[in-house]
Structure 1
Amino acid sequence: MGEFDLIERYFKRPASRAVLGVGDDCALLQAAPGTQLAISCDMLVEGRHFLSTMDPFKLGHKALAVNLSDLAACGAKPLAFTLALALPRADDAWLAPFSKGLLALADAHGCELVGGDTTQGPLNICVTVFGEVPVVNARSQALLRSGAQAGDDLYVSGTVGDARLALEVFRGTLSVPAPVFDAARLRLEQPTPRVALGLALRGIATAAIDVSDGLLGDLGHILKQSGVGATVDTEVATNLIASYAYYTRAIGQFDTEIGQDQWLNWALAGGDDYELLFTAPPAARTLVAAAAHTSQTPVTHIGHITLERGLRLVDGDGQSVPNTYTSFDHFA
């Protein structure tokens, strides 16, 4: 199977929202009047971002999901994406489920594949995604990292830490009951991009970011760009790990006991969660709750933004907790 046969068979589809899609030197997109284009790019490298044994259907899902998560953090509506794919060989048994997983998520979000590139080489997947953000009265409605204000509430969507638990099982550092691993593995391999929540938070949230490298590390980007600090309740954060509930019910089944600090480390610095971390003023709590309800996405209040710069961790009694947690950095 040649390169162009590969594209024709697995990735070429009739253009829907795009003016011109796959098959030419460039794709043509027509943004709606009164909107801005939001663009993001992410790369997944075998051995760094995923295991060679990962189900290709799930890998196709994740390759697009991590990009849609960036659009969600910006409050952008998905429009289209491109795919650059390096493959060791053109393998039908791998390409068929990979393309199905990729395009199923694309269809679910009305985000069409409009172009890209293929080449032979070590498995590497690069997606560039395009979204739309409205402009109202000459002001962009995009959610940014730079808008957090002292006194704002700090929220995170969904659950965090489960993906890291699954990774540790894959690494062989611990053993957990099958139901715990299965649920955590789903979070690692098929994250849910919180697009609906991001759209619902436009005009409500003051700042937002998606949690990809770890909650505290990504929070640090908001604090730096907004010029503020934050206090985070570590007890609330620990309870955000869905696997923690399984653990407390089935602790006797574990081959390796997991200490409380380990759970907290996964919640605060685990990474690969692809949830939304965002800020909003206390006066908007009812609106935040409504956004969570309409998007069918749970959100949890985990702290607040402070005028004094820096990050402070506290326990359930408000006592300081040492910050020894380091989020992921490719080159650290």
Structure 2
Amino acid sequence: MEFDLIHRYFKTPFGELAQANPDSVLLGIGDDCATLRILPNHHLFTSTDTLVEGVQFFSDDPSSVIGWKALASNLSDLAASGASPLGFTLNLSLPKIDENWLAGFSAGLLDIATRFNCPLVGGDTTSAGSNPLKTLSITVFGQAPASHLGFNRAHAKIGEEVWLSGTPGLARLGLLLEYQRRGRLEQLCKGHELPQVQALLAAMPAQLRQIAVSQLGMPVPRIELGLQLRGLASACLDLSDGLSGDLAHISNSSGVSAVLFQSSLESMWRNCWPEIDQHADAAQLLKTLLMQTWRGGDDFELCWTAHPKHHSAIQSLGDDLTCVGVIETGREIWVQSPSAGRTRVASLSYNHFAEVPN
């Protein structure tokens, strides 16, 4: 049964993609080990992520969306390292065999694997036993020229600029919308935060709602941007757990402080939501949006630092790249407001052992 499932949903549908990469995939699914070849004078990059039902995804999420996001989260790590994909392995633990779920999962996984030319080269499918929850782990492999050693989190330097891609916090809005739809919004928002979030969700236009839900379920890893940042960025990471906590990793590793400009962050949201200033309570809506930006993960956008001399070169890479701050001495994250001055930002990021499960 296990080998039949592997052939039907993984080896057969993914075989064409592996065969299209004969120079890098020497041996794929079907043997004890996959054999990959990296280009001469290149380094190997690898990353692993695990998704657990009820924690990283809802039990009733479309399985095609789960398949997409499972690989997207790993490819985002390659993007944050400036590496191009080589292939990936999949470990799948299931409480029971559900052919419809597997068909959708395989299709979503194949969609994103094909888009980023990242073939499935091996893995394992096993019973979860008495555990009623699905668990899936992906390990992705990538490569980059030996002259590029990645974007070390410890390489941020005083005077460098802080940049963001996309609109970090959008996936958090998608999660809030999903919890609201399920009548469980109070599980994510405590005390005075709940009415503020309810007002924000009520004010969001329909198009922004759709974008937010899509960002949560089917984020697009910034592989191309990561490659373009070679030679431009110093430190870089992907925003998987929230801006405040993820940027703190750079701050702590580099022994520096990051000062973010409130006006730049608000401009980022205005670009995404142009009508917001027409709302009677625009100031409060922007304040709530910034709070969700600090804590919202799963956007898989990039955050990096770069010398100011690279400002124009980076800006030319895309309209959705925003310079939002500067690196200074210290070891904290601060937000600079034109009216309130400088305020320290506490880490509000996702904590796997503290958050309420989905």
Q: CA deviation at 1:322?
A: 4.7
Residue aligned with 1:206, SS: strand
Taking structure 1 as the reference length, the TM-score comes to 0.90
1:70-95, Cα deviation, whole Å (9 max, x unpaired): 00000001100000011222222111
Q: What's the RMSD between the two structures over aligned residues?
A: 2.2
1:309 aligned partner:
331
Amino acid in structure 1 at the alignment position of 2:64: F
| CA shift in 2, pair 1:98/1:273, >3 Å | same
Identify the match of residue 120 of structure 1 among 111, 117, 127. 127
Q: Distance in 2 between matches of 1:213 and 1:36?
A: 27
Tell whether the 8 Å contact from 2:74 to 2:138 is kept in structure 1 after alignment.
yes
Q: Distance in 2 between matches of 1:186 and 1:283?
A: 35
Q: CA deviation at 1:104?
A: 1.2
Identify the match of residue 163 of structure 1 among 145, 166, 171. 171
Amino acid in structure 1 at the alignment position of 2:348: T
Q: Distance in 2 between matches of 1:237 and 1:86?
A: 40
Asked if 1:50 corresponds to 2:49, the answer is: no
Which consecutive unaligned segments of at least 5 residues does structure 2 have? 186-197
Q: Distance in 2 between matches of 1:268 and 1:55?
A: 28
1:1-332 superposed matches below 5 A:
2-12=1-11, 13-14=14-15, 15=18, 16=21, 17-121=24-128, 122-136=133-147, 140-172=148-180, 173=185, 174=198, 175-176=201-202, 178-241=206-269, 245=273, 248=276, 259-290=285-316, 292-293=317-318, 298-316=320-338, 319-324=341-346, 326-332=348-354
Using the aligned pairs only, state the percent identity.
41
2:194 aligned partner:
none
1:267-297, Cα deviation, whole Å (9 max, x unpaired): 122111100000100011122123x24xxx6
Q: How many residues align?
A: 321
Taking structure 2 as the reference length, the TM-score comes to 0.84
Q: Distance in 2 between matches of 1:114 and 1:244?
A: 38
Q: Distance in 2 between matches of 1:71 and 1:224?
A: 22
1:252-276, Cα deviation, whole Å (9 max, x unpaired): 9x9xx97443211111221111000
Q: Distance in 1 between matches of 2:271 and 2:69?
A: 20
Which consecutive unaligned segments of at least 5 residues does structure 1 have? none
Task: Considering fraction of residues, name the structure with more helix.
Answer: 2
Q: Distance in 1 between matches of 2:250 and 2:165?
A: 16
Q: CA deviation at 1:51?
A: 0.6
Amino acid in structure 1 at the alignment position of 2:337: D
